[in-house]
Amino acid sequence: MECAGPLSHLTVIEFAGLGPAPFAAMMLADMGARVIRIDRPVKPSGKKEGMSALTARNSDVLARGRESVFLDLKSAVGKQAALRLVERADVLIEGFRPGVMESLGLGPDVCLQRRPSLVYGRVTGWGQTGPLAQAAGHDINFIALTGALHSTARRDAAPTPTPGLIGDFGGGGMLLAFGVVCAALEAARSGQGQTIDASICDGSALLAALVYGWRSAGLWNAEAGTNNGDGGAHFYDAYECADGRYVSIGAMEPPFYRLLREKCDLADPAFDAQWDQKRWPALKAQVAAAFKRKTRDEWCSLLEGSDVCFAPVLSLDEAPQHPHNKARGTFATVDGITQPAPAPRFSRTATAPCQPVGEPGAETRSVLQECGFTDAEIAGLTQPPAVI
């Protein structure tokens, strides 16, 4: 697979999993790293419901840009093959519960002995240590423990779960990718590898750093949905329009707030007290009534591109079609799947176009041959008994 981008000098071994680990591997692959994904050969179940449908490989964009190798890691030959791949790699990524890789004989001590400069990246929900390290959990649980989920609640309403955005991907996968790049830079200088313990809990807490700072300074209320950045303020929220669709407003600074009042005919002198929190509920009701007077498209014609700090709330189908996103190439369509394109952009080491999702195991023979495996060894690794 042709590589382009600032990480085209890195080779990454990814042990296939769900959520944050493949997201981190996708980010590295997007930046040009050669990512070899070790997939487990699985008997087809025929079921296309629940998690089986969610992880259908042809729509799993988190798996794009990989070379896939089938290995049965529970067999001795499969484990030894994985270690031979590790010997040629710069980075390893895994997202299993603490102790799983050790039980397979593929833990950090073993892999770093084979490849002393290896960056061994691990991501879990609770972290490698702590009272909850071995407990099961999902994104909603990890962000709940850090205060991040609490911040999604409306006043006097329940918190709103987010589909992996804060925890799995922002707090987990992106944190792991950042840690991997940091450790790879250090290893290039020292020649020594190390293990990265990326916890979704730690990462989602980190994403809330600004809010924790404001709370400590007395600038953020304990009650969710009553603050200037969580929907409590009339000048920072999403509002329903006449057609039932929504727009977002973030007119926090005085010049932007004045423009909002001007363009939305908010002439009531009560709006002069922008930061009087006691008045926010009443002012919010007036703003909501104002936005109900026009459709979303009418508000776009009036406000979009201005300093009101405005944007329509677009659906997943609408967002890729917006002129700004189209001009930037924010989304790409590959094999009929519309998905976010690689980001960020680089002036000199530009990344390749968005890569497709390959077939699991498609590169098993070519990758193993490259690593010096004989035809007989490859045949032994790919026999039906390896299927689990």
- CB neighbours of residue 317 within 10 Å: 8
- What's the order of all strands across the beta sheet hosting 236-240? 236-240, 246-250, 310-312
Strand-pair partners of 196? 121
Decide the pairing of beta strands 194-199 and 119-124.
parallel
Per the annotation, the verdict on 138 as an active-site residue is yes
Query: Helix, strand or coil for residue 316?
Result: coil
Which residue, among 155, 249, 137, has the nearest Cα to 204 in the 3D structure?
Answer: 137
Catalytic residue among 138, 197, 202, 322: 138
Instruction: Quickly count: other Cβ atoms within 10 Å of residue 45's Cβ.
Output: 7
Residue 121 bridge partners (DSSP) = 93, 196
Q: Which residue bears the tokens 């691990």?
A: 122
* Paired strand residues for 120: 92, 195
Chain Cα centroid distance, residue 51? 18
Helices first, then strands: H and E counts in the chain: 15, 11
Known catalytic membership, residue 234 = no
Indicate which residue of 39, 90, 168, 237 is catalytic.
Answer: 168
- Other C-beta atoms lying within 10 Å of the C-beta of residue 9: 13
- Say which amino acid occupies 117: S
Catalytic residue IDs? 138, 168
